[in-house]
Chains A and B, each alone.
Chain A
Amino acid sequence: MTITMIVVGLMALSLVTYVVSKMSKGLGSVLTILGPLVALLFFLLEGSGIASGSSIGILQFGATKLGWFFSVTMLIVYGCVAFFNPYWMKKLVHPSAYNMLYILSLAGTIGMFFAVDFIVLFIFLEIAVFASMFIIPFGKSRNAAVVYFAMSTFGSFAFLYAIFMMYGKFGSFDISFVLGQLATEPTTAIWVIILMGIAAFVKLGIFPFHIWLPMAHGNAPDTFSPILSGGLVKIGAFIAIMVVAIAPTYEVLKNSYEVMGLPILIYIVLIIAAISMVVGTLMAIKQDDAKKLIAYSSVANAGYIIVGIALNDQLSLSGAMMHIFAHAIASAAAFLSIGAVSYRTGTTKISELGGMIQKMPITYTVYLISIISMAGIPPMAGFISKWLLFQSLASHGLMFIGAAAFFGSVGSFLYVFRPLSGLFLGQLKPQHNHVKEAPIFMVVPMVILSGISLFFGVLPNGLLNFIGKIQVELGVEGITTVDTAIMGNNGLLDPTLVFINFGLGFVKAFIIFMSLSKSRKVGLMDTYTAAEFVYDPNVYHYAKSYYAPIERLYEKHPDIVALYKGLVQRVVDLGRLLQFIFFKTKPGTTALFIVLTIILVLWGEKIW
C-alpha cells in the first residue's frame, strides 16, 4: 500500500460510506471504524519507510518520518473515537453526512501530512477544515461552526498568501525547494514566517485566536470533540514545525535583534505561547461544561507545543512532538469519557452531574489516567513531554516563559480536578440512579487510549528514538536515550524506574488499605447534611462555587470574544452604511453618483 493509495482510498471510502449509510446507518458507521483502523494497520506494517506511490496529476505525496508520526497519531485517535459513532447514529440529524465527513476529514489530514507541494497541502488542509466544519453544527451550536470556519479560513488565507509570496519569488510550489530558498530572500522570508505562523496559531488555537476551540470543541457532537481536540488542532502543530524546523527560520532571523539569546520574533512567539498557557488555564478553571473545560486546556497545551517547536533544539522539539502525541491521546480519551457520560446521561455540565464513579467506574478510570497525563504527572506520557520542555526552558534560562509553563502545570491540577470531583465524585443525582456503565465497544477504545498513555509514560524510549530520527530528518540533533533512560541537559530521567517506584508505593498503600478495617457505606445525604434538612440540594453539589476564591481573583477579566464580536459588528455596520448610501430608491441619487465618479476619476487626468 502506498500513501497515494491510502489517501485516495480514504477519499473514495468517504463517498462509499455515504451511500452505505443511506442504506444502513449502522453499517456506515462500522465503515468509519474500519477505515482508520485499516489505514493505521498499513502504516504500522509498512513503517515510516512506506512507499509514497505514483502521483495522480498534481496529487503527489512524499513519505516523511514527520508525516508518518503525525498520521499514526491521527489514525489512532480517529480509529478509537470511531467506535463511538454507531452509538450516535440515532442522535445525529444527518447521520450519513456525518459518516462521510468523518472519513473525509481524515483523508484531508493524512493527505496534508504527506504533501510535497504547497497547493496539495492547502487543498487537503481545506478539505479537513470544511469536512469538520460541517460536523460541528450537528452538535449544540450553529454559530460555533461559523466561528470555527471563519477563524480557520483566516488562518488558511494567511497561509495561502505566504505560499503565493514564495511562489512570486521562486516560481514554485514545491515545499522543500521553496523553503530551502527562503534564506536568500530575508524580507520575504520574514513575512512568510509571520503569515505561516499565524496560520499555525489559528489552527492550534493559540491566544488570541483560541476563541474557536471552546466554541467548536464544546458544542460539537460528543463523538467529534475528541477528533477536534486530539486530532485536527495538531494540524497547527504540523504547520508550526514546518515553519520553524523545515524552513530556515533561525538562519533568516540570525541578524535580528536578540532577547535572551533568541531572535526577537521567536521570543515574541514564546511570549504569545506563554499567554496561551496562562489564559487557557485560567479560563479552563472556571468552566462548568466539562467539554469546554478540556477545550480550554487544549489552548494551554497548545502553548507548550508552540514553546517546544519555537525553541527548536534537541530537547524542546522532541518534547513538543512527544507532547503532541501525549496530548492527542489524553485529550481524546478525556473527551471520550465525557462523551460516554453524556451518552448515558445526556449532559456534559458538571453541575448537572455527580457521583458517576459509582455507575461508570471504568469511564472514571479512563478520565483519571488521561487527566494525569494532561497535567503532566508521572507515570503518564504527558509527564515525559513536560519534563523535556522544562529541561529545554531551563537550559535556555527563559524564566518568564518557564514561570508561565509552571503556572499552566499547576493550574492544570486545578482544572482537571473540577470535573473529577464534580462530575465523577460527589453525590449521585437521583435521576442518574439507573445509569449503567458505557457499552463495551465504547469502553474498549477508551481503555486502549489510556493504555497508550500509560505505556508511553513508562516505556517512552521506542517513541523517543523515533522522534530522534524525525529530528535528524529535520536537521536537529536527535534526542538520546540510554536503556530506559532519557538524556536531558542536566541529568537523565528513567521513567521505568519512576513507574516502578510509583507502583511499589501504590502497592504498599493498597496493602495498608486492604489490611485496615472496611469503611462503612452510608447514604450520601448523611455525610453532607449532618441530619439537617436540605433546602437547596444544589448548594451541596461539589461543583457549586468550586473554585470561587480563585475565580474571584480574575472574574472581571477582559473578554477577547467581545473584541471579535465588535469586529464583526463593524463589518455589519459598514455593510449597512454602504447599502444605505448606494442603494437609494431614487434614480437621481444614482445618477449623481455616476456623474460625481466620472468627475472624480477625471480629476487631474488629461481629458483629451
Chain B
Amino acid sequence: MSQPILLIAIPLGLAFLSIILKKIKVPLLVLGLLFSSMLVFFIEKKSYIIGGFKPPFGINLVVDDYNLYFIIIVNVLFLVLVLANLSAVKPMATVLLVASAGLNGLLLTGDLFNLFVFIEIASIAAFILLTMDKQFLKVFHYIIIGTLASSLYLLGIVILYAQYGTLNMADMSGLIDGGSITPTIAYLLIFAGLAVEVKLLPFNGWVKGVLETASAFTGPLIGSLYAGVMLVVFGRVFGGVLNLSGTMVTSLTIIGVITLLAGEFMAFQSKHLRQVWLNSSIAQSGLAVILFLQGLHHVAVLVIVANIISKFVLYLVSGKIAAVIGHDKIADLKGIFMNKKALGIAFTITSLSLIGLPLFFGFFVKINILIALFQSSNMWIPALVLIAALIESAYVIRLLVTMWQVGEEGEKPETIEKPTFSLKVGFVTCAISIILGLMLLVSGVYPDLVINQSVKAGNVLSVNDEIQVFTMEGGLE
C-alpha cells in the first residue's frame, strides 16, 4: 500500500482512463489527487527498487527526510489547488493527472536520467496547462527554452555517464567524491538545464510572459508548485550529487546573487500584481540557489518551503483578483480588501511572511539564513541578502498599503467614501488562503517543527553536525 511508485503510477493510469471515460474526468482527477494526498502520509523513508534491478543498475525511487515533506506539501497543495478551481479544470483533467505524476516523479526519483524524463513529462504538462491562458506565443517561448534546457541537462548527464558509468544519484555521488577529475562542462550544462526551470537570471526569459498573465489556477501551479519542486530537484542534484568546488562555486553563486538582486529590482519597478510576484519568485529562487551552492542546505529547504506556501496564496489571490477586476494594475486596486477583509488578512499575513517580519514564519527563515551564512563566515552575501530584503519590504508594503487604503496622497480617508464594489471571490479560495496564512502565523510563533525537519532534510544532502539553528524553543541548537 505504501509504495511511492503509486504516486506516479496511479495518476498516470487515471490519466489514460480519463481519456476513455470522458464523462467522469473531473471525479477521476479529484479521486486520483485525493488518493495521492492520502498516500503520502503512509510512505516509509527508504529506497524503493523499480523493476527488479538493484540500483545502480535499475531505477530506484528514494524517499528520505529531504523529499518526504515536499511530497506531502506538493500533493496536498495540488489537490487544494484543483478544488479551488474546480470549474476551470474540466478540459485539463487528463493533463493535470500527468502533471501530478510528473511532479511526484521529480521529487521521488533517484536516477539522473529518470529525472530528465520527469522534467519532460512535467514540462509538457505545464505547456499544455498554460494554454488555458491563451498566450500561445509566450508559452511557445517556454517550450523552446524548456526543451533546450532539458537537452542541455541530458547532454550534461551523458557526459557524466561517460565519465563514471552510472546514472544513479547515490552511486554517482560516491564516485564523484572519490574521483579526481571534475567534468566542469557537464556540471555547467546540468546547471544551465536546471537554471532555466528554477528561473535563474539570465536563463529565465520565459518566466515573465508565462506568469504575468497566469490565472488563479496556472499561477499557483507554475509559480509555486513547479518552482518549488524544481528548486528541490536543483538541491538534490547540486547539493547531494554533484560536488562543486573552487571557482565554479563562486561563479555560480554570483549568478545566484545577480538573480536575487535583479529579481528584487525588477519587482520594485513592477506595476502589476502578478509581475511583482513573478519577479519576487525569481529573487527567492536565486536565494535558494545561493544557499544550496554554499552548502547551507537546511536553510535553502526553509526558503523553499516558505516560498511554496506564500507564493501559492499570493498567486491564487492575485489571479482571482485579476479575474474579478479584469486587470491587476496595482494603482487601480486601491482599497480592494476593504470589503473582503478575510481574504485581505490572509494575503497580508502571507506577504508579511514573505518579507520576514516577526510573528510570521518568514522571520525565522531570514534569521536562520543569516545565522548559517555568518557561520560559514560569509560577509558579503548576507549584506546583499539584506539589501534584497530591504527592497522587497519596500514594494510589498507599498502594495499592501495601496490594497488596504483608499484615497489620494494628502486626502484624509474619513472624507472619502468607501468603495462599494465587493470582490467576488469564492468561499473555497478564501478558506484556503486563510488556512495557509494561519499556518504561516502558527509556524511563525512556533517554528520548531519545521526548522528541525529542515535540518534533517539538509543533513540528507550533506551531513553537517555543526549546524546551528534558531528556534522558538531553546534558542540556538
Q: Which residues of chain A are within 8 angstroms of B148 by Cβ–Cβ distance? A: 591, 594
Q: How many angstroms between the C-alpha atoms of A133 and B357 in the bound complex?
A: 12
Q: How many angstroms between the C-alpha atoms of A554 and B427 in the bound complex?
A: 59
Q: Which residues of chain B are within 8 angstroms of A92 by Cβ–Cβ distance? A: 413-414
> Which of B202, B397, B418 contacts A594 (CB under 8 A)?
B202
Contact status of A571 and B265, CB under 8 A, knowing A587-B145, A598-B188:
yes
* Residue B475 at the chain A interface, CB threshold 8 Å: yes
Q: Which residues of chain B are within 8 angstroms of A583 by Cβ–Cβ distance? A: 205, 207-209
A221 CB to closest chain B CB, in angstroms?
Answer: 9
**Segment among B100-108, B122-130, B217-225, B244-252 that sits at the interface with chain A:** B244-252
Write out, one digit per residue, whether chain B residues 435-462 have a CB within 8 A of any chain A CB (1) or not (0).
Answer: 0000000000000000000000000000
**Segment among B88-96, B109-117, B317-325, B400-408 that sits at the interface with chain A:** B400-408
Q: How many angstroms between the C-alpha atoms of A113 and B154 in the bound complex?
A: 58
Q: Which residues of chain A are within 8 angstroms of B19 by Cβ–Cβ distance? A: none
B168 CB to closest chain A CB, in angstroms?
Answer: 22
Q: Is the CB of A58 within 8 A of B474?
A: yes
Q: How many angstroms between the C-alpha atoms of A94 and B407 in the bound complex?
A: 14
Question: Which B residue sits closest to A141, measured CB to CB?
Answer: B409
* Residue A70 at the chain B interface, CB threshold 8 Å: no
Q: Is the CB of B390 within 8 A of A140?
A: no
Q: Is the CB of B184 within 8 A of A571?
A: no
Write out, one digit per residue, whether chain A residues 49-88 have a CB within 8 A of any chain B CB (1) or not (0).
Answer: 0000000011000000000000000000000000000000
Q: How many angstroms between the C-alpha atoms of A109 and B470 in the bound complex?
A: 22
Q: How many residues of chain B have a CB within 8 Å of chain A?
A: 83
Q: Is the CB of B188 within 8 A of A137?
A: no
Contact status of A146 and B409, CB under 8 A, knowing A137-B404, A578-B265:
no
Question: Which B residue sits closest to A571, measured CB to CB?
Answer: B268
Q: How many angstroms between the C-alpha atoms of A160 and B174 in the bound complex?
A: 39
Task: Pick the most buried of A117, A141, A153: most chain B CB atoms within 10 A of its CB.
Answer: A153
Question: Which A residue sits closest to B189, measured CB to CB?
Answer: A598
Q: Is the CB of A149 within 8 A of B370?
A: no
Task: Pick the most buried of B152, B189, B393, B476: most chain A CB atoms within 10 A of its CB.
Answer: B393
B98 CB to closest chain A CB, in angstroms?
Answer: 24
Q: How many angstroms between the C-alpha atoms of A93 and B205 in the bound complex?
A: 42
Q: Is the CB of A164 within 8 A of B268?
A: no
Q: How many angstroms between the C-alpha atoms of A581 and B208 in the bound complex?
A: 12
Interface residues of B in 132-179 (CB under 8 A from A): 137-138, 140-141, 144-145, 148-149, 152
Q: Which residues of chain A are within 8 angstroms of B266 by Cβ–Cβ distance? A: 575, 578-579
* Residue B371 at the chain A interface, CB threshold 8 Å: yes
Q: How many angstroms between the C-alpha atoms of A126 and B366 in the bound complex?
A: 13
**Segment among A259-267, A503-511, A535-543, A599-607 that sits at the interface with chain B:** A599-607
Contact status of A157 and B390, CB under 8 A, knowing A146-B398, A575-B266:
yes
Q: Is the CB of A582 within 8 A of B201?
A: yes
Task: Pick the most buried of B359, B387, B397: most chain A CB atoms within 10 A of its CB.
Answer: B397
Contact status of A140 and B188, CB under 8 A, knowing A149-B394, A594-B196:
no
* Residue A207 at the chain B interface, CB threshold 8 Å: no
Q: How many residues of chain A have a CB within 8 Å of chain B?
A: 68
Question: Which A residue sits closest to B337, measured CB to CB?
Answer: A94
Q: Is the CB of A582 within 8 A of B204?
A: yes
Q: Which residues of chain B are within 8 angstroms of A602 by Cβ–Cβ distance? A: 184-185, 188
Q: How many angstroms between the C-alpha atoms of A572 and B411 in the bound complex?
A: 26
> Which of B338, B357, B401, B406 contacts A126 (CB under 8 A)?
B357
* Residue B465 at the chain A interface, CB threshold 8 Å: no
* Residue A154 at the chain B interface, CB threshold 8 Å: yes
Q: Is the CB of B402 within 8 A of A142?
A: yes
Q: How many angstroms between the C-alpha atoms of A164 and B382 in the bound complex?
A: 9
Q: Is the CB of B269 within 8 A of A145?
A: no
Q: Is the CB of B397 within 8 A of A146?
A: yes
Q: Is the CB of B406 within 8 A of A93?
A: yes
> Which of B371, B401, B410 contacts A137 (CB under 8 A)?
B401
* Residue A161 at the chain B interface, CB threshold 8 Å: yes
* Residue B182 at the chain A interface, CB threshold 8 Å: yes
Q: Which residues of chain B are within 8 angstroms of A573 by Cβ–Cβ distance? A: 269
User: Can you pick out 27 interface pairs between chain A and chain B where the beta carbons lie within 8 Å of each other?
Assistant: A57-B474, A57-B475, A58-B472, A137-B401, A140-B412, A141-B409, A146-B397, A146-B401, A164-B382, A167-B374, A573-B269, A575-B270, A582-B205, A587-B205, A587-B206, A590-B141, A590-B206, A591-B148, A594-B152, A594-B192, A594-B202, A601-B251, A601-B255, A605-B247, A606-B184, A608-B184, A608-B185
Can you list the 3 inter-chain pairs with the closest CB atoms, starting with the nearest? A590-B205, A575-B269, A575-B265
Residues of B within 8 A of A (CB): 137-138, 140-141, 144-145, 148-149, 152, 181-185, 188-189, 192, 196, 201-209, 247-248, 251-252, 255, 262, 265-270, 279, 338, 352, 357-359, 363, 367, 370-371, 374-375, 377, 382-383, 386-387, 389-391, 393-394, 397-398, 401-402, 404-407, 409-414, 418, 470-476
